[in-house]
Amino acid sequence: MTDSNEPTQPDLEQLDEREVAEAIGAAARITLAPGPREAREAPAEAPAPDDEWALPGGTAWVYLADPTKGLTRPVLIADGFNSGPSELNFSWEILERGPYAFLSELRNRGRDVVLLGFDERSASILDNAEVVRGAILEAIARRAGDHPLTVGGFSMGGLVSRYALAKMEHEGGQANDHQTALYFSYDSPHRGAWIPIALQAFAHYIRSLNAAFSNQMNSPAARQLLWQHISEWGDTPETDKERGTFLAELERVGGWPSRPKKIGVANGVRIGESNGIRPGEQAFHGKGLAITGTRLYTQSAGEDELVAQLRVVTLRRPHVNTSGLPEIDGAPGGTLEGFGILADELNKIPALIGLRSEADIREHCFVPTVSAIALRDIDTHEKLYEPVTAAAESESELDEFLCASRNEPHTLVTEELCGWILERLP
């Protein structure tokens, strides 16, 4: 997978690795997260919740439709993947202050919003499912009346809640009666997510300077979510054993909950149209003295395809190549600004450190449409790009789904998708 391409001319100036590491740690936060840049970096403060529940491994923030009536028609929404604890301000920014005020619309329709956060978003999906189970039981105990629950989540949150509900049904008994009529997922990677091997390799290559990005890519949740994963920059991409363990455990408890209606939405189109990102294109390159020579490319199909040339501080410029992977960066689906986030964070570091960079292509497919609607695996070009016909709808593991009318950012909250969910609430 790798080879070495040593430069014939040495750099004019040698930078101290300790100084570079300190600069990265002080100025940059290189981890991947969905949402617009301003929402990720400086979300406005969320309004104070009407109630807050301390849960094993997490927290629930409760916003009632009518505080005088208490909790009557709860809608539980689980958080997605990132590093560190869930942040209420970020969740509120994404769900309420984007193109569509989803939380306000829920409350206007008499639904109580219960936002579920995790103490560690990158922890195992199996562990964070206990947060969802705890919230379900708490909601049932506090609910006035017997209106059934709606339970789901955005991105990884859809998988966490899916497993929690399925496990409760599998274990059975009154203590596991989830009383849920509707399960929903919002651009959740039911058949796997994708972070370009080029980005994963860069994350691990700079681990000695700053381990945050590598730690995120090697976290339990990332290993479970990603269809292809590498633990070290020189590894051959594969399905991580933790993903295999997670899928086996999901299958053990039935795969899906059987009692609630199961619906899902995708931030990608169903017509097989690419997002416009072409394979083998330069997506990122280093411009500063310490990173000149680093070039990351979009994924190409074929054998021994170059996806990255890496150089940070040292003279070495190893290549990273892949074989047998499809042209997935351009596949229809929800996108993530992975290359753009990397460049933005490196450019926060003082220029004199020499890490100035540019994202030639900011985004890539993160959750393919066919994954979000639980229709097909994502391991071939044909499966990724074949249009979703009316005849194929019955092959989805969801009871009903909706795809966006354009390929758009992962978990973008739109009237098109949220309005469809609202119409199906119990």
Q: Are strands 333-336 and 364-368 parallel, antiparallel or unpaired?
A: antiparallel
Backbone angles phi, psi at 284, to 5 degrees: -155, 140
Nearest-angstrom CA–CA distance, 185 and 179: 18
Nearest-angstrom CA–CA distance, 308 and 340: 16
Q: CA angle at residue 214 from 209 to 216, to 5 degrees? A: 135
- Amino acid identity, position 360: D
Domain assignments of the chain as residue spans, ordered by start: 51-191+240-270+370-423, 193-238+274-367
Per-residue pLDDT reduced to its tens digit, 66-84: 999 999 999 999 999 999 9
**For the purposes of burial, counting CB atoms within 10 Å of the CB of 4, is it exposed (0-12), middle (13-18) or buried (19 or more)?**
exposed
Averaged pLDDT, 20-40 = 75
CA distances from 151 to 54, 133, 140, 213 (A): 18, 10, 12, 31
Report the half-sphere exposure of 8 (CA within 13 A, side-chain side): 0
Per-residue pLDDT reduced to its tens digit, 370-419: 999 999 999 999 999 999 999 999 999 999 999 999 999 999 999 999 99
Report the percent of the chain where pLDDT is more than 90: 87
66 neighbors 73 (Cβ within 8 angstroms): no
Question: Considering the entire predicted model, what is its pTM?
Answer: 0.94
Averaged pLDDT, 262-266 = 98
- Amino acid identity, position 184: F
Nearest-angstrom CA–CA distance, 320 and 199: 11
| pLDDT for 257 beyond 70 | yes
Nearest-angstrom CA–CA distance, 269 and 333: 6
**For the purposes of burial, counting CB atoms within 10 Å of the CB of 239, is it exposed (0-12), middle (13-18) or buried (19 or more)?**
middle
Report the percent of the chain where pLDDT is more than 70: 95
347 neighbors 310 (Cβ within 8 angstroms): no
**CATH assignment of 51-191+240-270+370-423, given 3.40.50.1820, 3.40.50.300, 3.40.190.10, 3.60.21.10?**
3.40.50.1820
Angle of helix 156-171 relative to helix 241-252, nearest 10 degrees, comes to 40
2 neighbors 321 (Cβ within 8 angstroms): yes
Per-residue pLDDT reduced to its tens digit, 32-41: 888 766 666 7
269 neighbors 369 (Cβ within 8 angstroms): yes
pLDDT category, 203, cuts 50, 70, 90?
Answer: very high
| pLDDT for 11 beyond 70 | no
pLDDT category, 12, cuts 50, 70, 90?
Answer: very low
